[in-house]
């Protein structure tokens, strides 16, 4: 088998695996060991139907209709109608990277053999993933409670030949695309529609999408913060390891070490070792405390999301039994996405703080009284406005992030005739991370432009060798600002660099987020 094919062992995805799939398409093959558990699980469901035992979701209605019994000759039709009736999503389609993660997570969860679904259905999902046939999934319509029902229904409808598929930028009817790829629409068996629709895979994929984007912002902001220290003739004394060891927070200790490493060998710092400045502003001095707390929050959220990515979160769950152990189908509530909702809220608040601290450093640099640089970082201030309005943009985005970061998990609106009377709101709580991360990428991009301008204004003094690499990357995309010009294009170019993961790859690795996850 080609080395490029990822062998999926059910329930064993790591954070690195998830980020790899998020960054680029990869082909997978299901570990052959999964198929025995899948077959036993499907046989258990078939036995329930044959024996006429009444089990939720197999031969009953759904939600508040669970008291309605469905005859054996209608259980397959029940599953098809379930998928079609639940395809009620609205809004812009989810990003391909998110849909790719949803497919991976759904395959991973179902393959653990507790969902009562046949291997051939999972094989169809694998085909979609491998051939980059991404179902068009509307972004809105889930409250993150009884699974991400509406979005997962749109994902599943494609298997039946309904809905649309996005294939490498072309959005077309699913039936036509499946036919072109030699994939026949599937006939669902008992419980299979419910297994496909139930689960937290959409909210989890959206939260992972936000986490990975946040990680790229974090790495860029650490770099920008170090550049700001040099641009403002700041001190590296606050990053001394002895200070942070006394407090003991892992993230704080790590961020201080990263800042020391980034600033090591700076000629700018060497030039003012004996200056009379006693202390720097908090936005410089307290970076380890703020960014370190953010790192710890991201690590906690990452742990939650990796566990959820490997979880079985549909309902009911099938336990085929083994030897003397009786086979059972148990109804519970693993579909409730409260862990994901809390993780998404944590990421949102931490992302907001990255932007807030970045905006404050940007404001400090443009203030000549604080930075000892020309007003608004430009020659002939007055004739030139320099970075004045770039800072206003950063402030506007930081303010918007504060609104977006309000916790979603504290809300609940009952659904399904009060059967589903407490919901997590995880899905939109995770979805808004995309907007917060985009805003934060712009804020940090603006700071990078300002910090590079400040460092260049210190010439002939030079920053550290590592930060000179960052300066080169910035200057390849945005020239020094001699006189006022359009800055929007420079901001876009730097935001793209932030979002590309370049700073993550160059200055941090995924290990900072959780190498053991």
DSSP assignment of 80-148 equals HHHHHHT---EEEEPPHHHHHHHHHHHHHHHTTS-S---HHHHHHHHHHHHTT-EE--EEE---SBSBS
pLDDT tens digits, one per residue of 455-479: 999 999 999 999 999 999 999 999 9
Residues of the chain with pLDDT under 70: 1-3, 61-67, 278, 323-324, 510, 515-516
State the helix-helix crossing angle for 119-130 and 34-51, rounded to 10 degrees: 130
pLDDT of residue 2: 44
Domains and their CATH numbers in the chain: 5-199 (1.10.275.10), 207-315+331-410+419-514 (1.20.200.10)
Beta bridge partners of residue 8, listed in sequence order: 30
Burial environment of residue 436 by CB neighbours within 10 A (0 to 12, 13 to 18, 19 or more): buried
Peptide bond into 460 cis (omega under 30): yes
The pLDDT of residue 1 = 38
Say if pTM beats, i.e. exceeds, 0.85. yes
Specify the pLDDT at position 513: 77
pLDDT at 248: 97
Rounded Cα distance between 343 and 409, Å, is 9
φ/ψ (deg, to 5) at 135 = -55, 140
Task: List C-alpha distances in Å: 162 to 81, 87, 135, 248, 415.
Answer: 12, 10, 10, 55, 26
| Rg of the chain, C-alpha, whole Å | 26
Can you give the pLDDT at residue 112?
Answer: 97
Closest CA to 360 of 461, 232, 263: 232
pLDDT of residue 515: 64
pLDDT of res. 63: 64
Cα–Cα–Cα angle for 105, 110, 111, rounded to 5 degrees: 100
Cα gap 444→167, rounded to integer Å:
33
For the annotated catalytic residues, the residue numbers are 56
CA distance readout (Å), 378 to 424, 451, 490, 506: 49, 12, 16, 29
Cα–Cα distance list, 7 to 3, 35, 64, 91, 306 (Å): 10, 14, 40, 34, 18
User: Tokens 């979609």 label which residue?
Assistant: 128
Residue 259 near residue 336 (C-beta atoms within 8 A):
no
Other Cβ atoms closer than 10 A to 286? 15
């Amino acid at each position: 088998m080609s080395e490029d094919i990822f062998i999926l062992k059910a329930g064993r995805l790591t954070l690195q695996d998830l980020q790899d799939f998020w960054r680029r398409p990869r082909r997978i093959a299901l570990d052959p060991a999964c198929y025995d558990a899948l077959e036993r699980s499907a046989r258990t469901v078939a036995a329930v139907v044959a024996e006429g035992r009444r089990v939720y979701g197999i031969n009953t209605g759904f939600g508040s209709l669970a008291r309605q019994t469905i005859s054996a000759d209608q259980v397959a039709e029940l599953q098809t109608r379930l998928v079609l009736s639940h395809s009620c999503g609205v809004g812009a389609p989810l990003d391909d990277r998110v849909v790719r993660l949803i497919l991976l997570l759904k395959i991973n969860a179902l393959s653990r053999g507790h969902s009562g679904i046949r291997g051939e259905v999972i094989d169809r999902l694998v085909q979609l993933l491998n051939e980059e046939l991404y179902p068009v999934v509307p972004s809105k319509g889930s409250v993150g409670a009884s699974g991400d029902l509406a979005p997962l229904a749109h994902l599943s409808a494609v298997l039946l030949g309904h809905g649309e598929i996005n294939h490498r930028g072309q959005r077309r009817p699913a039936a036509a695309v499946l036919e072109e790829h030699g994939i026949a629409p599937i006939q669902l068996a008992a419980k299979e529609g419910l297994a496909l629709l139930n689960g937290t895979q959409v909210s989890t994929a959206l939260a992972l999408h936000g986490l990975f984007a946040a990680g790229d912002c974090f790495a860029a902001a650490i770099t920008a913060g170090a550049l700001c220290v040099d641009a403002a003739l700041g001190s590296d004394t606050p990053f001394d390891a002895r200070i942070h060891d006394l407090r003991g927070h892992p993230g704080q200790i790590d961020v201080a070490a990263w800042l020391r490493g980034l600033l090591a060998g700076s000629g700018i710092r060497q030039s003012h070792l004996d200056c009379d400045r006693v202390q720097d502003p908090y936005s410089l001095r307290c970076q380890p405390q703020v960014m370190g707390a953010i790192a710890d929050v991201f690590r906690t959220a990452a742990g939650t999301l990796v566990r959820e990515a490997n979880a079985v979160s549909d309902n009911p769950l099938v336990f085929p039994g083994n030897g003397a152990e009786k086979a059972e189908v148990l109804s519970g509530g693993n579909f409730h996405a409260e862990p994901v909702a809390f993780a998404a809220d944590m990421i949102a608040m931490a992302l907001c703080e990255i932007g807030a601290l970045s905006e404050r450093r940007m404001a400090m640099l443009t203030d000549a009284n604080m930075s000892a640089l020309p007003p608004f970082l430009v020659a002939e201030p007055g004739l030139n406005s320099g970075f004045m309005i770039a800072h206003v943009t950063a402030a506007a985005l930081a303010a918007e992030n504060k609104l977006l970061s309000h916790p979603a998990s504290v809300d609940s609106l009952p659904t399904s005739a009060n059967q589903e009377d407490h919901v997590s709101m995880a899905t939109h709580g995770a979805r808004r991370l995309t907007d917060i991360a985009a805003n934060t990428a712009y804020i940090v991009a603006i700071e990078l432009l300002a910090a590079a301008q400040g460092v260049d204004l210190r010439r002939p003094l030079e920053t550290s060798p590592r930060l000179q690499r960052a300066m080169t990357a910035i200057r390849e995309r945005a020239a020094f600002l001699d006189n006022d010009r359009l800055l929007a294009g420079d901001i876009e170019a730097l935001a793209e660099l932030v979002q590309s993961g370049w700073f993550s790859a160059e200055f941090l690795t995924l290990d900072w987020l959780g190498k053991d996850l």
